[in-house]
Every structure is written in structure tokens, then in C-alpha cells.
């Protein structure tokens, strides 16, 4: 309210000049209309100034008034107050707004036909906020469109800050018509790994590794325990070059940085468990069998092994 209140003395000065200083009726009427215009301007300026603080008081009072909804309400209120203020000032000067609006009717129809995307984005923004798909500060992913943190849900576009800190301005219709993943609304965050072990790992070693990984997850407060969320450490399958153990669990935190730290600690723990069990991780390999040795063949290079004069097993 400080700027509008500072404008009040100017308005009073204009009224004093019109009433006590000027003697010419024409000038007096003109300055009087100017004074009334300044009064209307000051009133609507005050309303314009208090709209944002008043709407901010509603933050958190009801689920409907989220930060995004408050931002929309403030913008709409500003537009309405500015339009009413301009209309009031025009009426003071004898300019009727009704006929002007009626004369712009046909032009408005033409503009509306050419601004279909504008109204589509406007309505889409209303649905986004009303359905609470995401709010300012949420981490979202729109496949093929954008991934990042929502900064502002505007009347026509939503500003999303990517992780490389580049801003992306996405039309609201794109976010309303496509699937959007809101990572900030996750209850827990998942870790899903496949641990490949060498084929010479014994059954006892497999059971030891499985049980130790499961115990590490169960004993840590960073992970969600059943029945709140599922947690599996199981022998999954016999792959082409490895015996695979599935590690599937959820962390309590959904913050990306904290989740990365917990995942790193789990990886280091699994590495230590596998080494302590006396085995190692597998890597992709192939076996090449030569059934017939060509005539004139002089022998294999170093590192290759001939299992039979007519059969070679080459491990790579």
C-alpha cells in the first residue's frame, strides 16, 4: 500500500487547485475530472497492490489454494482490476465502454478464431492446476517433451528448469494432453538391479551372497521394509554368461541426491559381500568351438587351448 498512499497527496493537491485556486469554470471542470480520475486510479491501484498479499493469505488454508492456483488467481485479479479501473476512468471522462466493447465484437470473433491455441493453453492450465498434476518445485517428466523442475505455471505456458539449468517454456496443452510423471509425488523411490555372478560360483556362495544382501537391506533404516513396500533379493535366472541375482527394494527418501548416496552405499556393500564370499562378478563371454582343424594349421596362439586334436575350445 505504500506507493498508492504516497500518491494521495498529489490527488489532494489537484482537488485543492480545482476548488480554491482556479477561477475559470472550464479549467476548474477539467481539473476536477482529472482529480476524480486520480481518485479512481488510486483506488484501483490500491486494490491491484493488495491482491497478491491477500491471495497469499489463502496459501495452505484449503487444498484448492496451492501455490500455482494462487499465482493464477493473482494474475486474473490483476487483469480484472486493471480492466475495471480503465473502464471507470473512461466513464469519468464521458467515454462509454459498452459501445466500444460492442464495436469490437466482430473483431473479437476473428481474434478468437485465430487464437484457438491461446485459449486451449489457457484452459489446459486451469485443468493442470485444478487436477493438481504438479506444482511449483515439482520434478516432472513429460516423455519426449521435457524433464526438470517446475518453476512457474503461467496462463499460457509452464516454465520448467532442466537439470542443465536451461529453462524450457512448454505450452500448457502439451502437458495436459500427454502423460506426465511427477517424481516429487513418489511415496518411495525404487532400486532395481541385476547382479551377474560367475558360473563357477557354488550354490553355497550364491546362498551366502543372497542372504547377506537381504540382511544389509533389512538392517538399514534407509530402506522400506515389507509390508510397507516389497523387497526382493532372489536368484533370478541363468543368463548366457552369468548367474543373475535380482535386487529389488525401495528407499524411504525420494530426494535424488540422498537416493544416489544410498544407492552408492548399497553398491559398495554388494561389492564387499561378493568379494568376501570368494567369487566375483561375471562379464560377457563367448565360447568358440572349432570342430575341424584346417589342413596346414600350425597351432593356436598363446592363451588358446586345444581340448582335442579335432576340437578347440577358445574362451574370450
User: What is the rounded distance in angstroms from the CA atom of residue 50 to the CA atom of residue 152?
Assistant: 21
pLDDT in 10s for each residue of the chain, 316 residues: 777 777 778 777 877 776 766 666 666 677 777 778 888 888 888 888 888 787 777 665 555 556 666 776 777 788 888 888 888 888 877 777 666 666 556 556 555 555 677 778 888 887 887 778 888 888 899 988 999 999 988 878 899 999 899 999 999 988 888 899 998 888 999 999 999 999 999 999 999 999 999 999 999 999 999 999 999 999 999 988 899 999 999 999 988 889 999 999 999 999 999 999 999 999 887 777 777 776 666 665 544 444 444 444 444 4
Phi, psi of 304 (to 5 degrees): -105, 155
Half-sphere exposure of 164 (CA within 13 A, CB side): 3
Where do the domains of the chain lie, and which CATH numbers do they carry?
A: 2-103 (no CATH), 133-185 (2.30.30.60), 189-276 (3.30.70.100)
User: What is the rounded distance in angstroms from the CA atom of residue 263 to the CA atom of residue 191?
Assistant: 7
Nearest to 199 by CA among 275, 274, 281, 277: 281
pLDDT recorded at residue 108: 60
- Bridge-based pairing of strands 146-153 and 189-197 is unpaired
pLDDT recorded at residue 155: 77
pLDDT recorded at residue 200: 92
Contact 201, 273 (CB under 8 A): no
| Helix, strand, coil share of the chain (percent; to 5) | 50, 20, 30
pLDDT recorded at residue 35: 76
Contact 155, 75 (CB under 8 A): yes
Contact 155, 123 (CB under 8 A): no
Amino acid at each position: 500500500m505504500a506507493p498508492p498512499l504516497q500518491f494521495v497527496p498529489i490527488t489532494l493537491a489537484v482537488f485543492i487547485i480545482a476548488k480554491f485556486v482556479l477561477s475559470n469554470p472550464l479549467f476548474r471542470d477539467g481539473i476536477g475530472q482529472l482529480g476524480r480520475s486520480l481518485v479512481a486510479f488510486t483506488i484501483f491501484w490500491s486494490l491491484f497492490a493488495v491482491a497478491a498479499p491477500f491471495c497469499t493469505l489463502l496459501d495452505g488454508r484449503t487444498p484448492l489454494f496451492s501455490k500455482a492456483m494462487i499465482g493464477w488467481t493473482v494474475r486474473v485479479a490483476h487483469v480484472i482490476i486493471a480492466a475495471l479501473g480503465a473502464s471507470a476512468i473512461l466513464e469519468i471522462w464521458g467515454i462509454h465502454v459498452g459501445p466500444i466493447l460492442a464495436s469490437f465484437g466482430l473483431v473479437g470473433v476473428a481474434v478468437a478464431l485465430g487464437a484457438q491455441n491461446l485459449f486451449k493453453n489457457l484452459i489446459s492450465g486451469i485443468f493442470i492446476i485444478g487436477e493438481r498434476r504438479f506444482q511449483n518445485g515439482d520434478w516432472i517428466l513429460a516423455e519426449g517433451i521435457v524433464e526438470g523442475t517446475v518453476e512457474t505455471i503461467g496462463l499460457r505456458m509452464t516454465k520448467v528448469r532442466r537439470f542443465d539449468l536451461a529453462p524450457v517454456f512448454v505450452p500448457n496443452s502439451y502437458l495436459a494432453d500427454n502423460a506426465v510423471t511427477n517424481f516429487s509425488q513418489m511415496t518411495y523411490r525404487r532400486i532395481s538391479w541385476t547382479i551377474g555372478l560367475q558360473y563357477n560360483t557354488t550354490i553355497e556362495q550364491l546362498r551366502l551372497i543372497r542372504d547377506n544382501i537381504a540382511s544389509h537391506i533389512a538392517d538399514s533404516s534407509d530402506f522400506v521394509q515389507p509390508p510397507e513396500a516389497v523387497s526382493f533379493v532372489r536368484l533370478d535366472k541363468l543368463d548366457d554368461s552369468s548367474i543373475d541375482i535380482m535386487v529389488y527394494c525401495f528407499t524411504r527418501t525420494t530426494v535424488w541426491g540422498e537416493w544416489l548416496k544410498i544407492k552408492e552405499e548399497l553398491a559398495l556393500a554388494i561389492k564387499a559381500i561378493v568379494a568376501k564370499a570368494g567369487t566375483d562378478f561375471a562379464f560377457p563371454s563367448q565360447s568358440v568351438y572349432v570342430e575341424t582343424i584346417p589342413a596346414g594349421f600350425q597351432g593356436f596362439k598363446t592363451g588358446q587351448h586345444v581340448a582335442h586334436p579335432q576340437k578347440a575350445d577358445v574362451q574370450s
